[in-house]
Amino acid sequence: GQQVMQIPQYQHVQEGEDFTTYCNSSTTLSNIQWYKQRPGGHPVFLIQLVKSGEVKKQKRLTFQFGEAKKNSSLHITATQTTDVGTYFCAGPRAAGNKLTFGGGTRVLVKP
């Protein structure tokens, strides 16, 4: 079945530094979605990418969808303590509107 993998599993970042987390799907996706889950909280929708090679920015967050629509990345610049949490990517299954979530990247920020 479809698999969605994320690396790294954990990301320790010094406050102010940049980092990138990657998402790879075993199948071509119609779209890729990103969610953020704060510690003790629930996933919150961040963004959806649909087009091949699409790049979208949200303040310090830059999301990219690969040309083959099988991978995606999230780049955060000038990391802040508010960026702490787990970032999940998710891709729709071939049939229906179910999502397959990646394992997530847990981000810890060192002040």
Minimal distance in Å, beta carbon 101 to other proteins? 5
Residues of this chain that bind other proteins (CB under 8 A) = 33, 35, 41-45, 48, 88, 92, 96-104, 106
Nearer to other proteins, 77 or 93 (CB): 93
Cβ–Cβ contacts within 10 Å for residue 40, how many?
Answer: 6
Minimal distance in Å, beta carbon 104 to other proteins? 5
Q: Is the backbone of residue 9 left (phi > 0), alpha (psi -120 to 50) or beta? A: alpha
What does the block give as tokens for 98? Answer: 């179910």
Nearest CA among 76, 65, 71 for reference residue 36? 76
Nearer to other proteins, 38 or 78 (CB): 38
Minimal distance in Å, beta carbon 95 to other proteins? 11
